[in-house]
Amino acid sequence: MRKLFFVLLVFTQVSFSQTYSLNKVTATNPNEINFVKHTFYEIGFNTTYKLPAWTFYSLTKEHLALANLDRKGSFVKDPLLNAEQAKSADYSGSGFDKGHLVPCEDMSFSGKAMHETFYYSNCVPQTIELNRGLWKVLEDLSRHWGKEYGEVIIISGPVFEINQKKLGEGEIPIPNSFYKIILRHESQTYKALSFILPNTTAPIHEVKNYVCSVDSIEKITSLNFFSELPDHLEVQFESVYNLSDWDFDHHHIHHVSSGGIGNDRTTKSIATQCKALTKKGKRCANKTTSPTSYCGTHQKK
């Protein structure tokens, strides 16, 4: 099958992503992919599944130093995407979060950049436990690495599978898992760390337990990342990884026996919306700090 290359983001600032065309992806199903370029990130949107197949952006120390805007926005249709997208009604009462692939916090250096993260082309159905737990932890780690190493490339997306459950009238597939690839340049070579995280309500363990190779993500997604790098450079980081190359020490993560993720400054103490459904089938509006994400009225016995 002939493969098609999608040209992704060209950054205005000088960055290691310009050394080679890191931002090119080869898809085995190119006819299903619509390419969308926003100001600071890009999307390969799968028109069959009505979800992004991948998002790509550069997270730099300079942007993170300016990232101080308060979170603001609500999801709307992507005006640049000429394809069917999810709607608010698809998520209403479903018990699933509208999960960002490109976090709005990473784009909080600019009102426009933050606004563009609230497009349904950047939105995926995630369980509360993943979106506010391990996914949030990994986003925080990515920001730490962006500050520490100066720049990291981040690619995220869902893993599509046959006979997935569907969400709402739009029949939006509910992925069983999500991937994230983080790449940095160091000493004339590249270092990558990748993760596959389950979209599950089961107890979540330490983030290191979900580390994998870039090759393993390519195999289950049928995507070829960094496809224009010379082969000898791809081999250096796609088939192997080394946890000691990445600093995890700043963010101690521990398992909470009641079924959630806790850390010093996120999910354990922040009030979130109860995940229970009312008799009318709508999401309970109560807030709770319980690690089970149920309010007192709906607390599971």
HEC letters along 70-137: CCCCCCECCCCCCCCCCCHHHHCCCCEEEEECCCHHHHCCCHHHHHHCCEHHHEEEEEHHHHHHHHHH
- Domain layout of the chain by residue ranges: 4-252
**Mean pLDDT throughout 127-148?**
94
In this predicted model, what pLDDT tens digit does every residue of 240-277 receive, in sequence order? 888 999 998 765 444 333 333 333 333 333 445 566 67
d(CA 182, CA 18): 16
Coil vs helix vs strand at 214: helix
Most trustworthy range by pLDDT among 185-199, 249-263, 272-286:
185-199
From the candidate CATH numbers 3.40.570.10, 3.40.50.720, 3.30.460.90, 3.40.50.970, the one assigned to the domain spanning 4-252: 3.40.570.10
Q: Give the confidence band of 5 by pLDDT, cuts at 50, 70, 90.
A: very low
Cβ atoms of 7 and 26 closer than 8 Å: no
pTM: 0.78
**Mean pLDDT throughout 272-301?**
59
In this predicted model, what pLDDT tens digit does every residue of 36-46 receive, in sequence order? 999 999 999 99
Q: In this predicted structure, what is the pLDDT of residue 51?
A: 97
